[in-house]
Amino acid sequence: MPLYIVPTPIGNLADITFRAIEILKNADVIYAEDTRTSKKLLNHYSIKGRLESFHKHNEHIKLNSIMRKLEQKNNVAVISDAGTPGISDPGFLLVRESIVSGFQVFCLPGPTALIPAIIQSGFPTDRFVFEGFLPIKKGRKKRLEELANEQRTVILYESPHRILKSLKQFVQFFDESREISIVRELTKKFETQFRGSICKAIEFYEKNKPKGEFVICISSLKEN
């Protein structure tokens, strides 16, 4: 049996594909980051599958038992709290282990925050780099130095607690010609977007306390 990686909504519960619902309905076991969070989604779509936890604190120790489930020809699906498993969420280790153990892996196309964020930014989409969350301490400066010369559109995930601090660092590291697009609460009731210079973004979030979930896109460094 293949392993199914199933994207789930990033806010709006309607953002799920018919196929995702079908796969989840047919699953013998659904591995979820937070079973209580996922229960709400599954109840909404009357999906009754057995839920088991699979999160960053137990992903290593769960690998063997998930491989056994696949060997025993169970239908196994993996979801995260929101979006696509493996994108700033557990998933990569499991996919790698499944491939090494000879199982097919199918990742369904579906919700993830980075794609609407870059499309809505209006920045070039032909080449981009997704950096996930920047390191908080170790390696952060080096990463910012690398991104200072980046010639592709940059996409970052960011928390509301750190966004102002990050923006202030961007001013120190990045050329002032670089523009920024910040989407907040994609697909949700209070979805908003900021576009402009990094300095203007700082002014904006100093006046409007950052709340919710954010994706930042930064335009590339223009070649001279």
Nearer to ligand SAM, 23 or 114 (CB): 114
Q: What are the angstrom distances between the C-alpha of 70 and each of 4, 84, 98, 218?
A: 11, 21, 9, 41
Nearest to residue 27, comparing CAs of 68, 77, 72?
77
Nearest to residue 117, comparing CAs of 189, 185, 201, 165?
185
Per-residue binding string, ligand SAM, 20-59, x by CB under 6 A, is: ----------------------------------------
- Helix %, strand %, coil % of the chain (to 5): 35, 20, 45
Among 4, 123, 130, 157, indicate the residue that binds ligand SAM (CB under 6 A).
157
CB of 117 to ligand SAM, least distance (A): 7
Tokens of 202: 């700082």
Nearer to ligand SAM, 55 or 74 (CB): 55
Nearer to ligand SAM, 87 or 180 (CB): 87
Nearest to residue 62, comparing CAs of 35, 97, 38, 86?
97
The enclosing H or E element of 170 equals helix 163-173
CB of 73 to ligand SAM, least distance (A): 28
Are 1 and 76 contacting, i.e. CB atoms less than 8 angstroms apart? yes
Q: Does 90 bind ligand SAM (CB under 6 A)?
A: no
Nearer to ligand SAM, 1 or 129 (CB): 129
The residues in 113-152 that bind ligand SAM, with binding defined as CB under 6 A, are 113-114
Number of residues that bind ligand SAM (CB under 6 A): 23
The residues in 167-206 that bind ligand SAM, with binding defined as CB under 6 A, are 183, 185-188
Closest residue by beta carbon to ligand SAM? 83
Tokens of 223: 């070649």
Residues that bind ligand SAM (CB under 6 A): 10-11, 80, 82-84, 87-89, 112-114, 157-159, 183, 185-188, 213-215
